[in-house]
Amino acid sequence: MSISIPNYASFEGGSNENHKHMIRHFLSKGKKKTTASAVAKIETRTNCYPRKML
């Protein structure tokens, strides 16, 4: 599974990399089997994670 999200502006790059890092925390590189419940759990954790606000 490869996650590829294009950067549209230079300021979006850091946020994109941080998001990928959070996903990698749960799904190690090369892991093939992922259930729908596991994806939902990852989605919930990444969406509820506190982030800096401007």
pLDDT tens digit sequence for 15-29: 777 888 888 888 877
Residue 8, pLDDT above cutoff 80: no
pLDDT tens digit sequence for 31-40: 778 888 988 9
* pTM score of the predicted model: 0.58
Q: Which pLDDT value is given to residue 40?
A: 92
For residue 43, what are the domain limits?
A: 10-48
Give me the number of domains the chain comprises.
1
Distance (Å, whole) CA 15 – CA 21:
10
Q: Which pLDDT value is given to residue 13?
A: 67
In a domain, 4, yes or no: no
- Residue 19, token pair as written in the block: 């998001």
Distance (Å, whole) CA 51 – CA 3:
21
In a domain, 19, yes or no: yes
